[in-house]
A and B are shown apart, each in its own frame.
Chain A
């Protein structure tokens, strides 16, 4: 009994959701931005400026200062000056500053969401429902820690580290800022943060929030720029701790650079997560989890489930359902409230994705994408699935950081574990099965810092996040995240 009927026997008109754009003028974008040092916006001393554009339209948004070495020194000096008084405040008072910031982020949430979507290219639905509320939640959570550090697990009255140099990526600009700044401040540190070159605007709006909160000058400093600015910050000798989120290559370079200096370091780097689907999985939710896993934020997610490992017996079923589901994804204007897939963040990233996809095709994997029209300007890439991918293929080994899923198969749990762990990375993994004991067995075997079972890409301020192996070290979130910003007793 088979049927290939696809044409309905009733005439049902197509229901095109009319454009539902969020009001762009909810966010104000200035023509130029200075550096945020010592509580005010200042011109760079020795740097120039760079343009930030909308990746969805390539429209020029603003000119943003580029911090040179002298500017980084100024920022670190401001942070050093602020460190004494800030670290001597009672936890209760620091806590109230952080609560203020959390509330300000909630109050100005839509403004941040719109700005982030414009500058980053990600859909407003995600900035509105994920990035901004989660960022506020991180401040709220860490506000509560500021006066409870005695219970962080390091014994009574743990001390902060000092000045933290923090370098964050472009995929979740505000959220990564929150992950970095909230715990640092809660523990009594001051920070110099460098946002990514292509997405500086939400960090600069956050600087305004610091002003509104009457945060003491110099506690938070924001230096914009490209790789050179980041390198200058890492190299600055008066920085006590470096926290970096970004590519594994840069992370390794930072580790080499800091070797022998004693500077504390945490790294949250790349990943090539396996999303493992067993034949007894809750299949419809697994499909959603696969889609969330790789197409959330256009796949610009370090813990993205970029390798689908599916049990052979359900391979065809999963791929078929996945293709059907991809047909309903809506790609387009990031500010449209119904958009599921936004723009690729930059021309350079688009070129990297295209190169790897080409490699996948050259290696003989089958490429599939749903029909969907791409806007004429901006950087766009169709959601893409590769089937018939071998474990040795580049698209099964290298981080693509785009909306590209590689489908591999396995026959037994051991084989799934072996394939999942067969990577230098170890950030995250997913397991889909209705059998609880198998979930926990798999979780034990998987060499990954986060294991999601029957869900994927879940983040919470209370839950430590971070990688095994070349995905980095240190955790962000929860009690474990605090330890990265507090002095530990010397090891004996």
Chain B
């Protein structure tokens, strides 16, 4: 597939954009615009998809298996993290067929507890790093933060981009920070004998425009992010369907350009199964069926899991479920 089939205008060499801030800026500013009204119209239409029976059961299971079960509070204790890990392993103790979640996501100083509690499972240990959530620290601190988390057992790092630099047009700075953190993931990961995946949090609630979301998505992909992630969950609005749609278009077009499948993670504000299914419809119809997999699409959430479990139980038994019947964590 030739590159002009992905982006309008002259094909831009992806390797070239890493060489200078000017080339990077030219590339990002040359991306086609996003018409907000049109995009929201399309998203709203996809929101009317009706999922019944097997299609719904399958999607609920996929959603559960795509959850990064998250706790990111100052009040997090080892006990809280262990309890969350137990929930991750057996989300529904009454049903052995219930899938496990994709990952448990914690602050770096709680990684060791999580890694210990999840040892021997396929559940990933994710950690936010790089002075999450603001990212307002020196690159050196961010690298150390990242290395700490990996050394403690993390195999997924959720970094934040420097939104201040992005909004002031210093794309080069944002790019090189991602490259630097990616290098830490590779080095520290190699030292620990693990593949470490990098999720790049764009904090779309601070980027405001969908044009910015598109640019930040391409920037993060070009800098080596394995996954682009909407939000920290600490800024409102967090994930929205339109923002996720733009990011899914980016990974779709990235694949057409390079042949690589990169991932998307929607985090924050997704609380109901009904909402989660709308996200999966976007994944299906915008990115494509190949992205319907926990390696390529994730939910960053906490309370969402229980609603998914309740809806799953309803599908299984035919009765509407009570929150009293699902474990808190």
Contacts from A to B (Cβ < 8 Å): 1-5, 8-10, 12-20, 125, 129, 279-285, 288-289, 313-314, 316-317, 320-321, 328, 337-338, 434, 454-455
Given A284-B32, A337-B48, do A15 and B38 touch, yes or no (CB 8 Å)?
Answer: no
Given A129-B48, A282-B38, A337-B50, do A320 and B5 touch, yes or no (CB 8 Å)?
Answer: yes
Say which residue of A20, A289, A317 sits within 8 Å of B6 (CB atoms). A317
The answer on a CB contact under 8 Å between A5 and B38 is: no
B8 interface residue (CB < 8 Å to A): yes
Name the residue among A4, A10, A280, A321 with the largest chain B CB count within 10 angstroms: A10
The answer on a CB contact under 8 Å between A2 and B1 is: yes
The answer on a CB contact under 8 Å between A10 and B51 is: no
B3 interface residue (CB < 8 Å to A): yes
B136 interface residue (CB < 8 Å to A): no
Min CB gap B4→A, angstroms: 6
Min CB gap A52→B, angstroms: 27
- For the complex, what is the distance from the CA of A2 to the CA of B6, rounded to whole Å? 11
Among the stretches B55-63, B70-78, B92-100, B123-131, the one at the interface with A is B55-63
New A-B contacts (13) at CB < 8 Å, excluding given A17-B51, A288-B41, A320-B5: A2-B3, A3-B258, A18-B54, A125-B45, A313-B8, A316-B5, A317-B6, A317-B7, A317-B8, A454-B35, A454-B37, A454-B38, A455-B41
Among the stretches B20-28, B150-158, B185-193, B289-297, the one at the interface with A is B289-297
- For the complex, what is the distance from the CA of A5 to the CA of B1, rounded to whole Å? 9
Contact with A along B311-323 (1 / 0, CB 8 A): 0000000000000
Say which residue of B35, B51, B284, B296 sits within 8 Å of A18 (CB atoms). B51
Q: What's the count of A-B pairs with C-beta under 8 Å?
A: 115
> Which chain A residues border B59 with CB–CB below 8 Å?
15
- For the complex, what is the distance from the CA of A288 to the CA of B41, rounded to whole Å? 9
Contacts from B to A (Cβ < 8 Å): 1-9, 14, 32-35, 37-39, 41-42, 45, 48-56, 58-59, 249, 255-259, 261, 280, 284-285, 289-293, 295-296
> Which chain A residues border B42 with CB–CB below 8 Å?
285, 288
Say which residue of B39, B58, B290 sits within 8 Å of A8 (CB atoms). B290
Given A18-B54, A279-B8, A317-B4, do A10 and B35 touch, yes or no (CB 8 Å)?
Answer: no
The answer on a CB contact under 8 Å between A10 and B39 is: no
Min CB gap B210→A, angstroms: 9
Min CB gap B59→A, angstroms: 7
> Which chain B residues border A317 with CB–CB below 8 Å?
4-8
- For the complex, what is the distance from the CA of A221 to the CA of B258, rounded to whole Å? 63
The 10 residue pairs across chains A and B that have the minimum distance between CB atoms: A3-B259, A285-B38, A8-B290, A20-B50, A337-B50, A282-B35, A285-B35, A18-B55, A283-B32, A5-B259
- For the complex, what is the distance from the CA of A294 to the CA of B325, rounded to whole Å? 50
Say which residue of A1, A15, A285, A289 sits within 8 Å of B14 (CB atoms). A1
> Which chain B residues border A129 with CB–CB below 8 Å?
45, 48
The answer on a CB contact under 8 Å between B2 and A2 is: yes
The answer on a CB contact under 8 Å between B290 and A10 is: yes
The answer on a CB contact under 8 Å between B9 and A313 is: yes
> Which chain B residues border A8 with CB–CB below 8 Å?
261, 289-290
- For the complex, what is the distance from the CA of A434 to the CA of B209, rounded to whole Å? 15
- For the complex, what is the distance from the CA of A285 to the CA of B3, rounded to whole Å? 20
